[in-house]
Amino acid sequence: MRLMDDVRGERLGRPRPPMPPHDYFDSVPTYADTLPDYRRLAREIGQDIAAARPPNVLTHNGRAFWKLTDADSGALAWLAFTRPDTRSALARRKVWTLIPYLQVFMANWFVSVDHERTDQYQWIHTNIDVYEARELALLVPQPQAEDIKRITRPEAVLTFDDIDRHKVTTVLGRGTAQAMKAAR
């Protein structure tokens, strides 16, 4: 017959020595010694993925921003972004350019073609960070009417259905969009 203390539910008499709490993971055999260390392999794979991307491309939320200056005069022509890490090959080739008066980035087929060229390019593509892109958004000139017509009538890379838009608020933030409105 066991006598129990009514208050604490413990046995009366000689106290038991304290036992460490039972841990399931301590009772399961550890196989860590027999498994290979994949950290080095993961690091090498990660470096291969980074090496596949063009060198020194800065990205922010999956977007790489580009300042396009005229190859002849050096004047700012476009502010653009690409998405180098997307799954779709077409989306990796696309370049979206800022149309300031509409406050949208629109997929631009002729800038996409120029972006892929290694020689005879019309613009110099310089990778910039998002903070510089926000500043340049206020300085980008309005595109010519012929350029807008060319964007909406694709001849290469894109089809009419591939021309999509991204709002400035989505890409650069609400502060930049408000500053662009105030600058008009």
In-domain check, residue 79 = yes
pLDDT at 105 over 90: yes
In-domain check, residue 27 = no
Does residue 38 or residue 106 have the better pLDDT?
106
What strand order describes the sheet that includes 165-167? 123-128, 64-70, 76-82, 96-99, 104-107, 165-167
Q: Which of 40-44, 67-71, 97-101 has the lowest mean pLDDT?
A: 40-44
Q: Which of 89-103, 115-129, 138-152 has the lowest mean pLDDT?
A: 115-129
pLDDT of residue 14: 66
Q: How far is CA 55 from each of CA 8, 63, 120, rounded to the nearest angstrom?
A: 69, 15, 21
In-domain check, residue 137 = yes
pLDDT at 7 over 70: no
pLDDT of residue 79: 92
pLDDT at 55 over 80: no
Does residue 7 or residue 156 have the better pLDDT?
156
In-domain check, residue 104 = yes
Residues 6+ apart with CB under 8 A from 133: 65, 67, 79, 81, 172
Express each pLDDT in 115-125 by its tens digit. 887 777 788 88
Q: Which domain holds residue 125?
A: 64-183
pLDDT level of residue 126 (50, 70, 90 thresholds): confident
In-domain check, residue 155 = yes
Distance CA 95, CA 81 (A): 6
In-domain check, residue 42 = no
pLDDT at 52 over 90: no
In-domain check, residue 9 = no
| Mean pLDDT taken over the chain | 78
In-domain check, residue 74 = yes
Q: Which residue type occupies 94?
A: K
Q: Helices marked H in the chain — which ranges?
A: 24-27, 39-52, 89-93, 109-116, 130-136, 145-152, 168-171, 174-183
pLDDT level of residue 43 (50, 70, 90 thresholds): low
Mean pLDDT of 85-95: 83
Tokens of 44: 């090498």
Report the domain count for the chain: 1
Distance CA 90, CA 9 (A): 71
Does residue 118 or residue 181 have the better pLDDT?
181
